Every structure is written in structure tokens, then in C-alpha cells.
Amino acid sequence: QLQLVESGGGLVQAGGSLRLSCAASGLTFGSYAMGWFRPAPGKERSFVAVISWTGGTTYYADSVKGRFTISRDNAKNTVYLQMNSLKPEDTADYYCAATGLSATSESYQYAYWGQGTQVTVSS
């Protein structure tokens, strides 16, 4: 069983930055594509970003493209989400997730989920 633990959330002013981390344990981290999700109106888990198991492929939601960067360190079993130029509408609980499939934006294809870390962006 792959276990995921997010950290790095907090309160930040609009225009500021945060870096979220997601530490994995239990299975071979390097075999999984890793994604970040957050709730959105009408959707429990809305896609934010995903990175392939090699780190060579990344995809982003249009709402975060150019502001957020996903990366991973397979030696540390950790995936990161660097969030810059934060906006109040980025306020949410952020969840990391793992899939044994290829990098995908579909939340139902992720088998493992963390407990989330809260991000609050003040205006």
C-alpha cells in the first residue's frame, strides 16, 4: 500500500509563493505517475498538475499553467508543487495522488491519495 503525506500548506498573501511536498512510502514510488488535485465547485477533486514516473512529462490545468511547477525526486520518494503568483482563487485543500497508469488528469484513475494540505491565499 502506497502512503502519501502532504506538507507545506499555509497562509500566504496574493502574489506570494508556496511549495507543497508529498512524501511517499510503502511501494516503489518511481513506478507511479503523481498528480496534484484540489476541490472545485461541483467537483471533489479537480486536476491541478501531473508528472510522469520519469519526470519527463508534465501537464497542468489551464488555471495554473505558467504559475505552478510540478517536480519529483525519486531518490527522496517525494513530489513537489511549486506555486508562484498565488491568487485568492487558489485557496483550497491540495491533495497528491498516485497512479500506476500513465500521467493523467482523471482523478478516478488514481488509486492512492494523501490527506491533503490546506492553502489559503489572502487578498
Question: pLDDT value at position 74?
Answer: 94
What is the arithmetic mean of pLDDT over 84-100? 97
pLDDT tens, 13-68?
Answer: 999 999 999 999 987 888 999 999 999 988 899 999 999 999 999 999 999 999 99
Least confident of 4-8, 27-31, 75-79: 27-31
What's the confidence (pLDDT) of residue 1?
81
Angle at 37 between CA 18 and CA 52, to 5 degrees: 90
Asked whether the beta carbons of 77 and 29 are under 8 A apart, the reply is yes
pLDDT at 95 over 90: yes
The mean pLDDT of the chain is: 96
* Residue-by-residue DSSP string for the chain: --EEEEE--EEEETT--EEEEEEEESS-GGGSEEEEEEEETTEEEEEEEEE-TTS--EEE-TTTTTTEEEEEETTTTEEEEEE-S--GGG-EEEEEEEESSSS-S-GGG--EE---EEEEEE-
Distance CA(23)–CA(21), nearest Å, equals 6
pLDDT of residue 46: 97
Q: What is the pLDDT of residue 83?
A: 98
Percent of the chain with pLDDT strictly greater than 90? 91
Q: What is the pLDDT of residue 2?
A: 85
The mean per-residue pLDDT over the stretch 67-74 comes to 97
